[in-house]
Structure 1
Amino acid sequence: MGTEGCCQQQTESIATSKLNLETGEECCSRSNGSCSTKNMCRQPETEVPFIPVTVDENDVISGAKDILKVIRSNWDMSSVEFKIFTDGITNKLVGCFNTPKIDDNNSSQNGCTDYTNNVVLVRVYGNKTDLLIDRKAETRNIKLLHSYGFAPSLFATFKNGLAYEYVPGKTLTPESVTRPEVWQLVACRMADMHKVTQDNGLAIPPARESMLWKKVQSFFDLVPERFSDADKHSRLEKTFLPISKIRNEFELLYKKLKSLNSPLVFAHNDLLLGNVIYTESLQQITFIDYEYADYNFQAFDIGNHFAEFAGVDEVDYKRYPSKEFQLKWLRTYLEAYLESSEVSEEQVQRLYVQVNQFALAAHFFWTIWALIQAEYSTIDFDFVDYAFTRYNEYLTKKDTFLSLDINTNSLS
């Protein structure tokens, strides 16, 4: 559900309030729609209740009602409309929209939805995704990033999911992500997020390391040597099994990428287009779904985002951004990340090389992820085909991308 029509003015006031929470008058400054962020403020983290309920992934609406009875006990369930979102391929998501009568105190004067008080999103984790994702870390990340103004409010967690704030706007598409007024905001937003720290004011910050190696190794360990579905096993066996074949391939790739010395940043790590929301009335970008957020190589987060320009349901790698587009995007990003308009061409070219080479790691990451999902997920999606799609693109681009260097990069 978007922000058009009669609700636009009200949506602006809600989102503006959120912007004020992000920036704060006393210690931050930001020009709306620009990259002029300075001295990011952090608000205190709030306690999030845990509800000891397990929601049946085959009956998410009934489960959502159980959650609402706890966190929105004042809602009349007969006035709540439920919408199951079908875009995701990891979890199941239901929107809960309270639609009280016009004379109800909770309704707005013009009959529009009050997103702050009358909408809750309930996300139910996909089957066995706890094998892939550290859910406790996910909750910590959402709370941390919300305290900086980057993530929606978390209302509650339950045994196999969480409830959180609805962000009005539209998720990006392969068409909208290339529009200048959109991609510039995405670049700035990512740069801001990459400056977030988990150190919590410690005098000696903890040692940081990239999540990439450990996460991919844990993924490899979860790929079965024999898939329970005979047809899937037959399709996958020649290319991917035994898994040690491509495990060795990733080890060689990782050694090459680590030598690039890409900075470690707090990264989203899953910025597919469906995880980026654009609120046009405010020229504002919001990232959602921080399941894989962690410290990682800067270039991985950007390269992964570029790879996602191809889409998910209908993947087309002809949409991978051109060199010309990337250089503009990367300059905007660096100006925001370094908080300087004096970014050299060498800095842009260096990041360009790093990003495209780390895009190979992104293809590898989601290839192994898809193999695991092919075994365990109950979502109606062809994960086997997706694994082949990502791995074939890795093989197609491998030699071209790894041959790039700062002085002779000819990718167009």
Structure 2
Amino acid sequence: MRILARVDFSRALILQAIGRCPPSRIHKTLSLPTSDFSLIPPLLYPTRRETNSPNFALSEMVTPKIGKERLPTDAKKILESIASSWGVIIEDVNLFQVIPLKGAMTNEVYQIKWPKRDSESESRKVLVRIYGEGVDVFFNRDDEIRTFECMSHHGQGPRLLGRFSNGRVEEFIHARTLSAFDLCNPSISALIAAKMKEFHDLPISGPQKVLLWERLRNWLETAKTMASTEQIKEFRLDTMGGEAGEISFLEKTLSHENQCIGFCHNDLQYGNIMIDEETNSITLIDYEYASYNPIAYDIANHFCEMAADYHTEMPHILDYTKYPNADERQQFLRAYLNCADKQLKNLELDMLIKDVEMYTLASHLLWGLWGIISEHVNDIDFDYIEYARQRFREYWQRKGMLLGSSG
């Protein structure tokens, strides 16, 4: 999940003028009632073995009343229904505990905890997610919800327990969110590679159309609408669009018939990866940007995210010395392809290595544009423009290194 916040309501007219992020082309999903909220029976999906660590860091305890006041009435009705399905009779809805969780910046996220009964070893928990406002400038919320439902259906990520008008109730995964340091761990990296391959191979319904280039063009137009004259000049935004622009150049240069298209996460930074440390199983969460794309792009984007640590005093600063070296990239891709050295088709590995390096350029452009837009729609204490500046700087440097041209 990216560092996003609520859009200032005074910018509503701007957002209407610039349009919305295009849908991710997922048309056929699980059918759900169209009422304001719907309860998904917990037994609809396979049960998941629980472990010990929560998937978000617990914030310091606040007065429970504050959290409960944030819960919409229809969300409380779903919680009552879930509790009843577990055989937990709640005469007073205020008996459950509401604990705000850190780590989710797009939405408000709460752990809901029921009083532990004598026969239970621990309390029952679920997660309530209240959607942030204004994020539809980056993605389509309806598509994200459908993707979440599909992921639940395929046993990926948390199970969907219920929906209400501006949020949803999810299974609470007892696992640890990764840190920036974890991405450098070869054992964890191999697990992530295998999970990405599994994710890319999911049979998600809908046309397998690449969304990357359409998203880049839409974000470029949005950024140009919001950016100042100085920012447009600094980031060379006028050179990005059109048939002779950077985006079209990349699309023509990177696209080829033999590239593999899969259903991609598109935002695989460490905060969107969880690990069950008892079973070493990996879970990918938060599918706001998920769509069909070249798998090489998804892997390239993950490699680029190794330069980031969003939990420092200066979370916008990127350290590209942490970008995986050639041996580390090859090791990751071998784990992704899941082939022993003797059986590995060198041509397949070599092609993927080259494609991944090239698609880092698209990653830098996309998140550079994201930084410019975020500066104008978010109120989080984060230096989005400096973040964008680093991504564009890395784009031009890597373009010169990979293609022999820096302008």
TM over 0.5: yes
**Corresponding position of 1:298:** 295
**Following TM superposition, by how much is the alpha carbon of 1:383 offset from its aligned partner in structure 2, in angstroms?**
1.5
The amino acid across from 2:36 in the alignment is: I
Q: 1:61 to 1:131 in 2, by over 3 A?
A: farther
- In the alignment, is residue 98 of structure 1 matched against residue 113 of structure 2? yes
The answer as to 2:163 corresponding to 1:157 is yes
Task: Tell me if 1:258 matches 2:252.
Answer: no
In structure 1, how many angstroms separate the alpha carbons of the residues matched to 2:165 and 2:145?
12
Partner of 1:124: 131
The aligned residue for residue 217 of structure 2 is 217
Q: Given the alignment of the two structures, is residue 327 of structure 1 paired with residue 333 of structure 2, yes or no?
A: no
CA distance in 1, matches of 2:33, 2:381: 32
- Which 4+ residue blocks in structure 1 deviate beyond 4 angstroms? none
Q: Compute the displacement of 1:361 (Å).
A: 0.5
Between the aligned partners of 1:397 and 1:216, the Cα distance in structure 2 is 18
Q: Structure 1 CA distance, aligned partners of 2:390 and 2:404?
A: 22
Q: Does the C-alpha gap of structure 1 residues 101 and 146 become closer, same or farther in structure 2, counting only changes over 3 Å? A: closer
**Matching residue within 82, 94, 99 for 1:77:** 94
Describe the SS at the equivalent of 1:121.
strand
1:356-395 paired onto structure 2 within 5 Å? 356-395=357-396
Q: Which runs of 5+ in 1 are unaligned?
A: 1-43, 53-58, 200-205, 228-232, 405-412
Report if aligned partners of 1:367, 1:390 keep a CA contact under 8 Å in 2: yes
Give 2:281's aligned residue.
Answer: 284
Question: Residues 244 and 50 (structure 1 numbering): CA distance in 2 closer, same or farther, change over 3 Å?
Answer: farther
- Secondary structure of the equivalent of 1:51? coil
Seq. identity, %: 26
1:49–1:156 contact (8 Å) kept in structure 2: no
* Structure 1 residue 226 displacement after superposition: 4.9
CA distance in 2, matches of 1:49, 1:182: 40
1:317 alignment partner in structure 2: 320
With 286-295 and 132-141 compared, the bigger mean Cα shift is at 132-141
Find 1:195's aligned residue among 194, 201, 210: 201
Give CA-to-partner distance per residue, 1:24-44, whole Å, 9 cap, x none.
Answer: xxxxxxxxxxxxxxxxxxxx9
> TM-score w.r.t. structure 1 length?
0.73
**CA displacement at 1:331 relative to structure 2:** 0.8
- 2:235, 2:404 → 1: CA distance? 25
- Relative contact order (C-alpha < 8 Å, sep 6+): which is higher? 2
Aligned partner of 1:326: which letter? R
Is residue 149–residue 160 contact of structure 2 (8 Å, CA) maintained in 1? Answer: yes
Corresponding residue of 2:402: 401
- Measure the CA separation in 1 of the matches of 2:72 and 2:252: 49
Partner of 1:3: none
Alpha-carbon deviation of 1:245? 2.1
- Secondary structure of 2:343 counterpart: coil
TM-score (norm 2): 0.73
**CA deviation after TM superposition for structure 1 residue 61, in Å:** 5.7
Cα RMSD of the aligned pairs, angstroms, is: 2.8
Q: Which amino acid aligns with 1:240?
A: F
Correspondence for 2:36 among 9, 28, 51? 51
Aligned partner letter, 2:148: I
Distance, in Å, in 1 between the alignment partners of 2:68 and 2:384 is: 25
1:99 deviates by 4.4
Judge conservation of contact 2:235–2:389 (CA < 8 Å) in 1. no
Letter in 2 for 1:245: T
Partners of 1:388 and 1:60 in 2: CA distance: 37
Verify the 8 A CA contact 2:226 2:373 in the aligned structure 1.
no
Separation in structure 2 between the aligned mates of residue 234 and residue 397 of structure 1, nearest angstrom: 26
